[in-house]
Amino acid sequence: MTPREIFDRQLEYIQSKSVEALIDNNYNEDAELISLVGEPFVVKGAANLKTHFTNYLGQAGDFQNIELTKVIETADTIAIEAGVTLNQSGQLINVNVYDAFYLENGKIARHFTGMK
């Protein structure tokens, strides 16, 4: 799969909150997520990524709209900027997200993320 195909599948899993499929199908077993959201942190390994995404998606609310504003892709990387509208208990929240995915063996090896 191309980086864009992995990313498109990533969006589908995120919007449907399919954490098991997200991690099992898109991430290497030893993948890392490096985050600048709040206090910077690193999550490593499939089991920890499943816990992280379960918590994150539980707090995020429902994804109402995702509009990609910038995308750049190479043979093994995709980086995006997007405007996201979340519905958190009836309140619409707009945020800008920034993600970069580095792939090894057709899956995400490192995922860099930020939000404003």
Model pLDDT for residues 4-37, shown as the tens digit of each residue = 999 999 999 999 999 999 999 999 999 999 999 8
Give all domains of the chain, ordered by start, each with its CATH number. Answer: 3-115 (3.10.450.50)
Percent share of the chain, pLDDT over 70: 100
Please state, as a whole number, how many other Cβ atoms lie within 10 Å of the Cβ of residue 73: 14
Q: What is the structure's pLDDT at 81?
A: 97
Between the alpha carbon of residue 29 and those of residues 24, 55, 79, 108, the distances in Å are: 8, 19, 21, 9
Residue 34 parent element (H or E) = strand 27-35
Average of per-residue pLDDT values in the chain? 95
| Residues 71-83 pLDDT 10s | 999 999 999 999 9
pLDDT-derived band of residue 61, with 50, 70 and 90 as boundaries?
confident
